Structure 1
Amino acid sequence: MAEREIWRWSAAETARAIAERKVSAEEVTAACLARKAQANPALNAVVVDLSDQALAAARAADAAQAAGATLGPLHGVPVTVKINVDTAGQANSNGVVGLANLIAPSDSPVTANFRKAGAIVVGLTNTPEFSLRAFTSNALHGLTKNPWDPEITCGGSSGGAASSIAAGIGCIAHGNDIGGSLRWPAACCGVATVKPTLGRTPAYNESAASERPPMAQLMSVQGPIAREVADVRLGLAALAQRDPRDPWWVPAPLEGPPPPRPIRVALAKLPDDLEADAEVMGLVRRAADHLADAGYAVSEVEVPDVTGTWQLWSDLISTEIVTVQLEAMKALGSSDTLGAITGLLGMANIFDHAGYIQAMAFRARRLREWLLMLEDYPVILAPVSVQPTPAFDADLKGDAAVYRFFHNDLRFVGAISVLGLPVATTPAGLTAKGHPVGVQLIASRYREDLALDAAAAIEAKVGVLARTLWARS
């Protein structure tokens, strides 16, 4: 570890080195900030600089350690927080110009739990306006670029988080996911993440003017993004601590009973109408081979109605947007964002009251079908996207382009979003153009451990892609 620059260390290595007094929290933070100064100008991933606060927090962490304080699991580890959750004294702008002065009066559970674990928050990362696009750009902070290639998207809405982590800015980044906003940017940027089960990680923003509508509450989750699966586990454990402000939080153990061996994995069959890229799907199948080599029993299996489940996600989230959010978005959103939202809503059936209630009820049946399958196959392997990563503005090419992107390319992402199941995402490799491709490992409720185990088995074969990226520069 000593031969590598500090910013290249994993979260686990960093925490251990600080605990063993081989390096101070202040030294680690300074190294992280130096890396940010070097890498961030080309990416625009971290858009709120908290350098002064971070150095002060690091000095306080070192003083506490010198006084014999009990150290948290992330003591002195640099992290980032997405700008759509509250960090006390900072604007929770959600990428919107009109919300640039919405100052958070308190820390969200995300920020508070990071701090309780001893982490040092070094900055806030970019998101699209309203965190609604899958491409990270907004009129307030601008475009965030992918460190692998500035011409392709870094994903969204946690694009700033994934871009910064891939570039070596911090060890763990926070993001959130209501329709792929952790999984898609992680795949685009060649890093790892987990979308937790609903209730695993608490969430709340005191700055919010009102509570979110029902399906937004049932689908939105907070999670960590990191370069290595082991660091995703560390981040999840930190973020999962109880916060009484979130009524959905569940005190579920992070590890469950082991399933029968060999663990059966379902490689999800693609719907017949999907237009899939052969190179991308070759990497997905190679990930299945890596699992088989690691001792998993892998079979290609039909999964419950991916297309209908995706449509359910599209219909429910769009109905809520139209009913309670659209007017505010029209008043505050840029023309690009409103155009992308129009495309998103155009994919959906907008329900009346009865239709909305019936669709919410039907969600239980669909989830039951997936849960029953997960009894037989504790892990389901599926693509994040079936196509290569598109350009940074691919959702601004008209309604048809938006529909194709969400309905074809990311159909498996939207389908899983509506179910509230946990999903780990890890790189499967690089295309011939050198662009990362990610896979989803889906597990049953509160079995993030099984999804992360499978992700780690793939990572053991593929390697940590960020190191390949750094070797290029």
Structure 2
Amino acid sequence: MPPYGVFAVATRGVLRHTLDLQSWSRALANELWRGSLEDLAQAIRTRAVSSTEVVQAHLQRIDAVDPRVNALSEVLRDAALQAAAQADRALAQGAPVGPLHGVPFTVKPNIDLAGSATTSGVPALREAVPLRDAPHVAQLRGAGAIPLARGNMPDFGFRWHTDSSLHGASINPWDARVTPGGSSGGEAIALATGMTPLGLGNDFGGSLRYPALCCGVAALRPTLGRVARAAPPTPVEPPLSFQMFSVHGPMARHVRDLRLAFTLMSAADARDPWWVPAPLAGPPPRAPIKVAVCVDPGASGVHVQVAEGVRKAARCLQQAGYDVEEIAPPQVQDMLETYMRIIAADVRSTLLPAVHALTSPDTQRFVDDFMQLVPASTLPGYIEALARRNQIARAWALFQQDCPLLLAPVSTQPPFAVGFDLAGVDAVRALMQSMALSVGVNLLGLPAVAVPVGVAQGLPQGVQLIGARYREDLCLDAAECIERAAAMPTPIDPRC
């Protein structure tokens, strides 16, 4: 029997009659933290616990915790409770149900959720309410999942720190002095503190993996074309870099939850011409699987705590039977420079006026400092950068034939102090350098899983596993091995 079932059998008819509703919800929430999405869904399906009780427990947790961390920009309280009641009625009537029937999840506010504004963190879009869900949101709803809340994010996702001009700054629950990451920071905080069992975010330059690192949770950045995307709400399509580098993905406390959510949100949708009908699992590679380990992928060195985390994860994989060897991947610095050239050209040509008109002074400062790092582009230079991307992708494909997995830091530095990304051009240069391999993954459209490996000096340690295109299965397999050997204490009460 899953842990939820044990808890429900032990308490139903006893604690529920002796505890008030708030205490019952708190006790239920504590139990919900221990299992996986599959356990939770199974408990609901077997009616060991109702969907209404699950949603109420998470709402109680939100009420208790979110005022301290500001992770959620909107709580869909009434709609979630109505959907939970409907889910309970369907079960009572014996109706067929999906694999996540009655399970709540949260959604980053730059992803369309019918009836809730897709604000992207800025006041100008507070009334931008879509009539239709994004493809992967619709797919999760079709599996029975219930939208619970919206996570917070920085303006248009332009910072690695979550501070919205519409909803304010979010707080890292481990230490308020350091960033919770961005741009999917609200989802990471909500997961780390037990306010949600599943979050949906996206990753344009580490925006799933970096907040997962900062908050001690797991995240999957799928291959480009895996998870279908809808057309933007405006008549103008996003520039090429945003089409090629950004993907939607799940965040969770357990790697197996990433796998389940990913499986359910990877179906076709005619609204995305980039979607690829690739199988969710490829052929098994030659055993033992070779893992290249890159402790320091940057040109500016790696922090000792970060290096210790990577080596700890490497030992976990070696003990699990992987062939682990320190090998540098090709052209990491070229990846960073090419990514920056393409991004800067697209921002200058299409987005800079909107940034200056619609975002906070802090966001404008960060973007302007970034633009100073990259000379103004010419059309020949842009064409050359795209050609350079293809050359790097070829080199990586050859590298990954021998090493199907790469283990590396998400960032070569621990979570930065709040405000560091606004400290000038040199600070932005240092951040970009620390994230060289993470943004390189976006440049090439590769899959990567961020997984925590423990706690050091009071902050989470984490790594990423990078695979070849469409080999999310290999990344997830290896991440589960690390997770089993280096379990995290999440969810936590805020320590700030």
Q: Is TM-score (shorter-chain normalized) higher than 0.5?
A: yes
* 2:236 corresponds to: 210
Q: 1:25 Cα shift?
A: 1.0
Shift of 1:51: 0.7
Aligned length: 470
* 1:247-302 C-alpha deviation (Å, 9 max, x unpaired): 11112221111111110000025357322111220111111111101100001112
Aligned equivalents of 1:34, 1:112: Cα separation in 2: 26
2:458 is aligned, of 419, 434, 437, to 434
* Superposition map of 1:88-237 within 5 A: 88-205=114-231, 207-237=233-263
Question: Is the alpha carbon distance of 1:81 and 1:401 closer, same or farther for their aligned partners in structure 2, counting shifts above 3 Å?
Answer: same
Tell me the equivalent position of 2:333. Answer: 307
Contact 2:213 2:462 in 1 (8 A): yes
Provide Cα deviations, 1:419-467, integer angstroms capped at 9, x if missing partner.
Answer: 1000011012211x21012111000110000001111110011013415
Contact 2:55 2:81 survives alignment (8 Å): yes
SS of equivalent residue, structure 2 residue 444: coil
Q: Which amino acid aligns with 2:461?
A: V
* 1:19-418 map, 5 Å: 19-205=45-231, 207-268=233-294, 270-271=296-297, 273-407=299-433, 409-418=434-443
Can you list the C-alpha shifts for 1:128-168, whole angstroms capped at 9, x where unaligned?
Answer: 00111110002110001111111111100000010101111
Residue of structure 1 equivalent to 2:17: none
Q: 1:272 to 1:324 in 2, by over 3 A?
A: closer
Residue 471 of structure 2 corresponds to residue 447 of structure 1: yes
Larger radius of gyration: 2
Aligned to 1:418, the other structure's residue is in SS state helix
Change in Cα spacing, 1:412 to 1:297, as seen in structure 2 (3 Å) is: same
Distance 1:84 1:271, change over 3 A: closer
| Partners of 1:17 and 1:43 in 2: CA distance | 29
**Corresponding residue number in structure 1 for 2:445:** 420
Q: Contact 1:267 / 1:288 at 8 angstroms: preserved in 2?
A: yes
Amino acid paired to 1:447: R
TM-score (norm 1): 0.96
| 1:260 aligned partner, one-letter code | R
Q: CA separation of 1:272/1:18 partners in 2, compared to 1, >3 Å: closer, same or farther?
A: closer
**Which consecutive unaligned segments of at least 5 residues does structure 2 have?**
8-27
Contact in 2 for aligned 1:6/1:28 (Cα 8 Å):
no
What SS is found at the alignment partner of 1:274?
coil
Contact 2:231–2:272 at 8 Å: present in 1 too?
no
Structure 1: 5+ residue stretches without partners: none
Superimposed CA distance per residue, residues 148-190 of structure 1 (whole angstroms, 9 cap, x where no aligned partner): 1111111000000101011111111000001000000000000
RMSD: 1.6
Structure 2: how far apart are the matches of 1:83 and 1:6?
28
Give CA-to-partner distance per residue, 1:334-389, whole Å, 9 cap, x none: 11100000122222243211211221122111111111111101100110111111
Q: Secondary structure at the match of 1:381?
A: strand
SS at match of 2:171: coil
In structure 2, what is the Cα distance between the partners aligned to 1:272 and 1:164? 31
TM-score by length of 2: 0.92
User: What whole-Å deviation, never above 9, does each CA across 1:103-146 have from its counterpart, x for those lacking one?
Assistant: 22221113212211110100011110011111000211000111
Q: Percent identity?
A: 42
Q: Match for 1:303: what amino acid?
A: P
What SS is found at the alignment partner of 2:490?
helix
